[in-house]
Structure formats: structure tokens, C-alpha cells
Chain A
């Protein structure tokens, strides 16, 4: 009831076309200023659903550097703007409180996670990768064939990643001689 007395819906009921107070007379201030997040967004990124391989178009609405809505892209000839429950849950996926946003570290024989800063974690991983490769390097196999590789490092994943990422993964691992590089395509 913070508005001026003249805005009191009872008076609006008496004055206007809505004496029963079921429509125009009872609209609130918030209702009058209603605007959808899609209209108030700062920008829209055109994206693709991250779940299955149908490749449905998504539009990602951003306001104040936060994702405020993800919905189907009407223009897509693949999906015609539609999304399944998973695609529809994309905003929930990317904005979930359960997302891991810091590095977690479990030391050998540890029983709990520990915190670790990202640069340190990267250094540690690089050290371990180089060491594992050195320790397990094979120049020749048991039949004296030249193989120049390591069987000490393996990798699994890629089907949820970008082509560019898969490209770098395979490129780096191949250069390092790691061959047990696999993904969901064989699972």
C-alpha cells in the first residue's frame, strides 16, 4: 500500500472498467513493469546443446555476465527451436551450485579432499606426466620393433568436448608417445 491513495485498487475498481476487480484494476506495480529475461539480456550467444548428438541449436542469454536463460534456437533446421528435457535443463547445468569451481586434490592414501590452487595443480600434473613418460618409455617393443611410445599414460574422454580440444589432445599425446587415448566412441 505504498503507492498513492489514488492507486488503491478499490478506487480503480470504482473508477474503471473492472468493477469486480479481476483484471486491470488489480494489476500490481511489478506486473506493470514485467519484462522477460530474454528481452532484458545484455547479449545472446548462439550455441549448441551439450548433451546428445542431435545438435540442437541453443540461444544463451547473458545479463551482467551471468547466464539467465538457455532456450532453443528457432532458426535451427535441425531442432526448429525445440529442446528435450536435458537441453531444457542446460541453464541449470551450467549455473548449478554443485558445479566444481575449484581444484580438488586427494593425496595418496588420503581420506579427504584438499584444496589446491590451479597453477600448482598444473605444475604437479606436468611433472607427473613427464615423469610417467620417462619411466615407461619404450623405444623398441619386445620384438625389437621401433615403437617410441609410452604405455604408462592413458586418457579417456572427448565425446563431450570440442573438435578443437580433441585435436590438441591427440596432437599433444601423440607427440608425447602416449597411445592409449580413447573416448566414448568405443564405449
Chain B
């Protein structure tokens, strides 16, 4: 009885002519009811800290991977770029995460529990493992830069320790890095935010691709072209995955893909696409020119950042408009009836 009235379309979401344009031809007519056009779900209270963190976390993860690889394959410049880049990006991530808290002084409460049901808790523990190793590797890298004379003082033991463990630590960081890159997709998807949740199948791939592209880009910027080959391939592969999976994601999202095209988020996503394509093409040529490599690397990093910001913004927008909550649920009801256990609905919350 609850589904049969939607189709009558007697009432609109909100007053005024807004939102009833021809541009909606790509989606079913959004005739739906709401409470004065108010959002049903709440947008996250997160500000730019979070997309910035998503980006930086990806850069850190990819960089640790490249650093580990470089370390194992003897590419010191790439290793240095990777390790330092990972530490900087990771440090930035932590600042962003803490800054975004309502009570930053209580950051350590994150370690109060291990919540397997909470991507943020899982992520915290992942970062807690990854972070020290990444930091250790980076410190070892820094220690290596210190003039030999200075390593003989009272801290001599520390330098020795770093020298001994820097390599293994970098490998551990590299092994844990993929989870750092991937969990953030779950972080966003495990919400009632329509455009985040409905993206859960492809989003990890988009984010991992984005991480690879950005960190590869960083490697191209930081390492000479001679050492940056893996970085270029990593970046290229990442860019390809990001572009392809993003496209697939949009197709599977239905109506909730709409915010990825409109407004601020839409502009960011377009920019991300262009920058990634540009960076990718550049990468193909970057083996010959350091300057092309730097430009391509910057483009890839910028593209990755735009992807993160775009997806973040699209989600926020989808939460603020009741259409993206109500219409997909109504469509699902029309298709499958109201959700009842044990059947599990396909699609969003």
C-alpha cells in the first residue's frame, strides 16, 4: 500500500520552479514528496579536512608502496621521494583528521576500542600500524641525509638503529599501505549519504587508482626520469583504473550519480577527469623529459585531489537534497517492495 502512491506524482518536493528542468531527462521524473524540501539524512559535518585527508592518505599509501619497491630495486631517489612524501602526506593527514574533530583533545579516544563495524576505527588502527613504520622509514631516509660526522655523537645508537630498521620498516609500511588507500572508500560508503553509499562497489578502486596516480605523480616530480619508471607505470595504471572505474561507478549509482555532474562537485569531477587524462598522456612522454614529468605529475596529483574533493562534495550535496534519499528508495519499493529480511536490498540505504 505504500508504494502505489508515488506514481501519482501529485505533490512536489519543494515550492518554486527550481529543480524541475529538462536536464533531468536522464533520470526518471523526480516526482516525490518531502517535508518542505528538507533533507532526510544529514550531510556529514566534515569540512575540507576530510577530502584533503583522503587525498593525502592516498599519496602517502602510494608513496610508501613506491618507496618500498624503490628500496628493494635500488632506486634511492625514488625511495627518498616516496618515504619523505609518505611522511609529509601522512603527517598532513593526521593534522587534518585531528583538526576535523569536534573535540581534538580527545583524539586518543579513537584508540579506546577496536570497532570492526566502524571503518573509521579500522582505519585508525591501520594508520596506527602504518604510521610508525612509514615514519621510521622516513626518519631513516632523513638520517641518511645527515653528514656522516654528525651521526657519531651521543645519538649514535639511534642512527645505527635507523640504518638497520629503515629498510624493513619501509617494507612493512608498503605492505600496509594499500589498506590505507582503500579503507577511505569504505569510510565514505558506510554512510547513509546517497552518493557515497551507492558508490561502494567501485569507490575503493577509484580511490586506489587515484592514490596510485597521485603518488606516481609525486614520484615523477621527485625522482629523476631514470629512476621514475615504476612511478610512471604506477601512475599510468592508477589513472586508467581511476577513470574507468569512476565511469562504471556513475553508471551503477543511478540517480545518485547526478550530484557528480552538477554544480561545484560536477566541476571538480570534470577537472579531475581532464587533469588525469592530461597527466596520463603526459606520463607516456615523461620518460624523456623531467619537465614533462613534473607537469604530468602535478596534473595527476591535482586530478587525484579533484576526484577526492568532487566525490566528497557530491556526497554532501546528495545528503542535502531529499530527492537522492527518497527517490531511490521509492524506486526500490516499486521494483522490489519494501525491504524485508532476509532479502537484502541492492543499492543504497
Contacts and interface: CB of A to CB of B under 8 A. Distances in A.
B112 interface: yes
11 contacts: A1-B111, A1-B112, A8-B112, A9-B113, A10-B112, A10-B113, A13-B114, A20-B116, A21-B115, A22-B117, A26-B113
A9 B108 CA distance: 13
Contacts of B117: 20, 22
What are the 7 closest A-B residue pairs judged by CB atoms, nearest first? A21-B113, A9-B113, A21-B115, A9-B112, A10-B114, A26-B113, A20-B117
B266 to A, nearest CB: 38
B149 to A, nearest CB: 42
A22 B111 CA distance: 15
A23 to B, nearest CB: 11
Interface of B: 108, 111-117
Contacts, number: 23
Nearest to A8: B112
Given A20-B116, A26-B113, 15 more contacts: A1-B108, A1-B111, A1-B112, A9-B112, A9-B113, A10-B112, A13-B113, A13-B114, A20-B115, A20-B117, A21-B114, A21-B115, A22-B117, A25-B113, A26-B112
A13 B115 CA distance: 9
B110 to A, nearest CB: 11
Contacts of B111: 1, 10
Question: What DSSP secondary structure best describes chain B's contact surface?
Answer: loop
A18 B111 CA distance: 17
Contacts of A21: 113-115
Nearest to A25: B113
Nearest to B109: A1
Nearest to B108: A1
A1 B105 CA distance: 12
B7 to A, nearest CB: 39
A54 B117 CA distance: 51
Chain A interface residue number, banded? 10 to 19
B81 to A, nearest CB: 36
Interface of A: 1, 8-10, 13, 20-22, 25-26
Contacts of B112: 1, 8-10, 26
B248 to A, nearest CB: 32
A18 to B, nearest CB: 10
A20 B122 CA distance: 12
Nearest to B117: A20
Contacts of A20: 115-117
A8 to B, nearest CB: 7
> Considering residues B108, B113, B116, B117, which has the most beta carbons from chain A within 10 angstroms of its beta carbon?
B113
A26 B115 CA distance: 10
A141 to B, nearest CB: 64
B33 to A, nearest CB: 28
A160 to B, nearest CB: 37
A9 B114 CA distance: 8
A58 B7 CA distance: 50
A1 B109 CA distance: 8
B142 to A, nearest CB: 31
A62 to B, nearest CB: 33
A11 to B, nearest CB: 10
A26 B116 CA distance: 14
Contacts of A1: 108, 111-112
A1 B112 CA distance: 8
A22 B114 CA distance: 10
A2 to B, nearest CB: 11
Nearest to A22: B117
Nearest to A19: B116
A81 B248 CA distance: 59
A131 to B, nearest CB: 60
B233 to A, nearest CB: 41
A22 B112 CA distance: 12
Contacts of A8: 112
A8 B111 CA distance: 9
Nearest to A26: B113
A62 B117 CA distance: 43
Contacts of A26: 112-113
A92 B114 CA distance: 41
A9 B115 CA distance: 10
B54 to A, nearest CB: 25
Contacts of A10: 111-114
A77 B185 CA distance: 58
Nearest to B114: A10
Contacts of A9: 112-113
A117 B117 CA distance: 63
A20 B112 CA distance: 13
